[in-house]
Structure 1
Amino acid sequence: MFSLSSWKHLRIPFSFYLLPIFILALAFTPNHNPERMLLVFLSLHLFLYPSSNGYNSYFDKDEGSIGGLKNPPKVNKGLYYLSLVFFLIAIVLAALINPSFAGMVIVYGLVSMAYSHPSIRLKKMPYVSWIVAGFFQGCFTFCMAYAGLSDFGFEVLTRPHVVIPGLLTSLMLWGSYPLTQIYQHEEDAKRGDQTLSLKLGIKGTFLFSSIWFFVAGIAFAWFFVEKNQIWALYGFMAAMSPVILYFLVWFSFVTKNSKKYVTYSWAMWMNRISAIALNIFFFWYFLENTQILQVM
């Protein structure tokens, strides 16, 4: 019924890059439950995020490389329907926890649709799309995962102990978001999309991202010091060191030859290194913060 090309555009493995937020939410969840953990993971990572990927791919109709696909196949109407099926399954799985969590999944899905749908197309609004994408893929996703894992609802969006770590993830995404667009300038311009990276330019994108990475680093340091978790601060610094090193090396190469080094491969390796580092760190933080091994 659905072609192989449609399944490729779901980019299910790309959900790995959003896994750190799920793990961080686990670290703060007050009541762990294996069934809820599985339902939240499946709803978000196997269905909601791929649904968003496929839906946006259908309306973008990219011919050049996109996140998770170096050579994307041409899209067809089947991709549109497949993305909606995945969205529906994500909602059903979320509803098995509670209606409020399902409502949060619906909100996330609708906002992600607005990113590329021609009637709204947030992608044409550089600063609006940057704010919205960073907030919803970061803070809102953290709160959503926390709500599902804890069997809570929209009230978590008013709780400082949930929103603050959520905003920390948004700070990091506000730094990395323009870098995900940096190799797509030509195609975005051809399509009429004024992305933030296109507006900032190549060097401007790196400088902009470096400022937000610095802000995010300071914010995480403050957070861990306030919680009297100096061990976590050292762990965070160790995890971020390869990411910072790669970013600086990449930037140094770009200043010499932007055409050669502003590529899909360099951008994807930035994503891979940061995702691996954060997944490892947040999983370790989850074990230490919850002391779950001692309980077991």
Structure 2
Amino acid sequence: MITVSSLKHLRIPFSLFLMPVFFFALALTPNHNELRILWVFVTLHLFLYPSSNGYNSFFDKDEESIGGLKVPPKVTPDLYWLSMVFFGIAIGLGFLINWEYASMVLVYGLVSMAYSHPAIRIKKYPYGSWFIAGFFQGYFTFAMAYVGLSGLDWSTILKPHVLIPGMLTSLMLWGSYPLTQVYQHREDSKRGDQTLSLNLGIKGTFYFANFFFLLTGIAFVWYFIDRGQQDVIWIYLGAMLPILLYFFIWFSFIRTNPEKYASYSWTMGMNAVSALMLNAFFIYYFFENTQILQVFGY
């Protein structure tokens, strides 16, 4: 029997925060196909990510707030099997495109399992978990989506037109990822998980994120200049402005009272603003690159 608790731990709405990577890959995909777009979106956001969320929740057994759940319900045994069923469905849907895409879904899922499984538990290594999470949720996910959307193979992921934008997405995540851990220091400490944010401290986490936000901004501006898309830079900077304003306002409060403002509510607010603006930007970038709007006279 599937419990309501397990359905909540899948945290399907939380997939919204990872959608910018999908839309960025969609914007750069050379050969669009409606069915491939549908299957990649469903595979990633309705099955693969929820499977990862549920699997990690099963082994973490958090009692305090986690991403997407302010008060997580008690974990029940069916969550493990539900997450595995979702994982199996994700792989099966991957085969509707090709075996290469399905195998990439498999690799992503296995790495996400290693993140929390007690036998490996990547999560307990501060810099290792930070690098692996940012790499696989960024570059690897971008490459996986690109391969699926285009119906291509593994060799595609090392080509510059995939590698460079993929690494840009990793830069984004390497900056924001430690911020998602600032309210979990007590819970992580109890489990013995030395997350990067816990090692850096609350203020140190913000300085670290600030550096990567700057680096990411410079890298994206360079990317658009290299593609001869200087006009896109202003749209990109406009999309980043609300994110940076939120970040610096939050940071100003953190400086006065770190323990009070390193909270679930502030973190989810940062995630929501980032997801809203980045999704909007990459959807615009999709229209800009594909020139779909011009077809309709815009």
Is TM (by shorter chain) over 0.5?
yes
List aligned pairs for 1:4-153, cutoff 5 A.
4-153=4-153
Q: Give the aligned residue type for 1:9.
A: H
SS in structure 2 at match of 1:183: coil
Show CA shifts across 1:21-75 (max 9, x none).
1111111111100001100011000000000000000000000000000000010
C-alpha deviation, 1:292, in angstroms? 2.1
Q: Which residue of 2 aligns with 1:246?
A: 246
List aligned pairs for 1:176-255, cutoff 5 A.
176-255=176-255
Q: Provide the C-alpha distance between the structure 2 equivalents of 1:19 and 1:39, rounded to a whole number of angstroms.
A: 14
Percent of aligned pairs with the same amino acid: 65
Q: Give the aligned residue type for 2:46.
A: L
SS in structure 1 at match of 2:183: helix
SS in structure 1 at match of 2:182: helix
Structure 2, gaps ≥5 residues long: none
Q: Which residue of 2 aligns with 1:279?
A: 279
Q: Which residue of 2 aligns with 1:165?
A: 165
Q: Provide the C-alpha distance between the structure 2 equivalents of 1:9 and 1:207, rounded to a whole number of angstroms.
A: 31
Q: Give the aligned residue type for 2:130.
A: W
Contact 2:147 2:157 survives alignment (8 Å): no
Q: Provide the C-alpha distance between the structure 1 equivalents of 2:192 and 2:31, rounded to a whole number of angstroms.
A: 47
Normalising by structure 2, we get a TM-score of 0.98
Q: Provide the C-alpha distance between the structure 2 equivalents of 1:262 and 1:294, rounded to a whole number of angstroms.
A: 45
SS in structure 2 at match of 1:67: coil
Q: Provide the C-alpha distance between the structure 1 equivalents of 2:259 and 2:128, rounded to a whole number of angstroms.
A: 28
Q: CA RMSD in A?
A: 0.7
Q: Provide the C-alpha distance between the structure 2 equivalents of 1:133 and 1:286, rounded to a whole number of angstroms.
A: 25
Decide which moves more: 107-116 or 254-263. 254-263
Aligned residues: 296
Q: Provide the C-alpha distance between the structure 2 equivalents of 1:271 and 1:242, rounded to a whole number of angstroms.
A: 12
SS in structure 2 at match of 1:270: helix
Q: Which residue of 1 aligns with 2:256?
A: 256
C-alpha deviation, 1:295, in angstroms? 4.5
Q: Provide the C-alpha distance between the structure 2 equivalents of 1:153 and 1:14, rounded to a whole number of angstroms.
A: 28
Q: Give the aligned residue type for 1:235.
A: I
C-alpha deviation, 1:81, in angstroms? 0.3
Q: Provide the C-alpha distance between the structure 2 equivalents of 1:48 and 1:295, rounded to a whole number of angstroms.
A: 34
C-alpha deviation, 1:294, in angstroms? 3.2
Q: Provide the C-alpha distance between the structure 2 equivalents of 1:259 and 1:135, rounded to a whole number of angstroms.
A: 29
Show CA shifts across 1:81-111 (max 9, x none).
0000000000000111000000000000000
Q: Provide the C-alpha distance between the structure 2 equivalents of 1:153 and 1:96, rounded to a whole number of angstroms.
A: 14
Q: Provide the C-alpha distance between the structure 1 equivalents of 2:34 and 2:63, rounded to a whole number of angstroms.
A: 41
SS in structure 1 at match of 2:173: helix
SS in structure 1 at match of 2:66: coil
Q: Provide the C-alpha distance between the structure 2 equivalents of 1:232 and 1:112, rounded to a whole number of angstroms.
A: 34
Normalising by structure 1, we get a TM-score of 0.99
